[in-house]
Structure 1
Amino acid sequence: MNENASLISFFEEERPRLRAVAYRMLGSLSEAEDAVQEAWIRLNRSDTSDVENLGAWLTTVLSRLCLNMLRSRDNRREDPLDSYVPDPARAQKDVADPEEEALLADAVGVAMLVVLDTLAPPERLAFVLHDMFQVPFDEVGPMLERTPAAVRQLASRARRRVKGNAAAVPAPDLGRQHKVAEAFLAATRSGDFEALVALLHPGVVLHADKMVVPTPEPIFVSGASTVAQGAMAATGRARFTGLALLDGAVGLAMAPQGRLRLVLAFTVTDDDRIAKIEVIAEPARLGGLEVAVLDGAA
């Protein structure tokens, strides 16, 4: 009993770190919780008396679980009921709290989650473990059955995707775009209609493709008040929306569960107001965008 209590206590100390790793690997809070639950089951079933670093052992187990889940999201393993080992502190709910997931997405960065979702599973694991959690390449290698040098290359490729290419947009313009996009997101999240109207040019035009609503035809809306009213109706979406580089320019990306669903691209006037908003949700158009993390966020 004392040994089991000690194991539970150790796992609870490790839980926040394991959960953070799993969330970055999977981009979904519910899937991350499932992976952590399975790591607990593996720990509870295993003889770890000869393991020198139990924290590293858990990280390896969890990482391999996440890797398998990434490779086959539609064929996730379900344990039979009679083999279930209760997680000592898992909340009794089947669906992750949307508010908690939104907070996690903010903490990690929506753009980061979107870019991570575009990486091949080995690239994602190498980048998350090494760049985000400082796990040495020689420890990541065995998880992927690759040499440390090969894992270094995987992480390097992932890093280039994360940073993207902002060279096409001058730095001063990026700063202005960042300020405007951040203000738009803040006003939308808080439901501040007046602040949003003030941010929009009086003749602002919004174009949304037919997948946004969806509708039979694309949507065209003009005028600051009209556009602001539409934005206020999308306040719920703003919880899973964050700043991102879209083809080198600053915009907003919406990514519930870490998967890109919609972006907003802005045209900004010289007096830092929004003259045009392009809302894109068509999968083909989203797939053609280069999404990257703003400097300082990676």
Structure 2
Amino acid sequence: MIRILKYAGALLACLLIGLVAYGARGYRDAQSDAEDLRARADALIAQSRGGNSLGGGRLAILLAVEDPNFWAHSGVDFSTPGAGLTTITQSAAKRLAFEEFQPGIGKIRQTGYALGLESRLSKEQILALWLETLEMGNGPDGWMVGFHSASSAIYGRPPAELTDAEFIRLTAVLIAPASYDLVRSDAELDERAARIQRLANGVCVPAGFSDVWLDGCRRTASGAGLPAPARSAEDAGVRDAAGTGKGLRRIQHVQFRAAPPASDEPWHQESSSLQGSSSLCIFQIAGGPEYASSR
């Protein structure tokens, strides 16, 4: 019995060493690719295809849905409500490091690559690469790749010129691009977009770490989303580069209007508070990117 336990322990140790080595390989690959990736990202930013080109307040909405703690984490996030198992950096790594990503053990190398990206690229550069490689679903001329490209294909305009409803609809497909239809009417996409609108309006929050589908923002019987607790800017993830929440200044209010009800039935109706405008406060650290907290 003791011999069996020893063999089992040795096998487990070898397995752990192998997994660590596989993750380290991803980290080294990212560092090796960093120079080319920086040049590619800088070219995208120069072409107005980065995060800051999305338009006032839009990046804040996108990050609130896809990676709420993007500016503060180092490539992975295991605690922020709504973050789920994949950060934006890991999502970018999935397409930059693999010709064909295989779930399971591939997650180890993906995570190592993401950590390597964070060590060599700026957040703005990572964001530009992520936006350019996003799977966006089927469009008028086939499968679409890239957030800016999808905006042009579906609406004929760049993201900065879209209405709030159009931008949110593009954001809504990211969780399952093959399952939604941006070209034709899609009730499930409408529901996803409505949840994002309520999140942007500040009337709800994700139900927990794994709530990537925003069940915390689903309609209740009264028509509103689940209530959001009162939070300070720091609690909402509005932090400076050091993660302290200090050094922030509010620079503008961006008005949003809730999406129209998805149905005429009473339980589908938005509450009166959602039919009016609500504001998203945009904060900025001097010399740095914009941050946002909803209220």
With a CA cutoff of 8 Å and minimum separation of 6, indicate the structure with the bigger relative contact order. Answer: 1
Q: Same fold (TM over 0.5)?
A: no
The higher radius of gyration belongs to: 1
TM-score, normalised relative to structure 1:
0.26
More helix by share: 1
TM-score, normalised relative to structure 2:
0.26
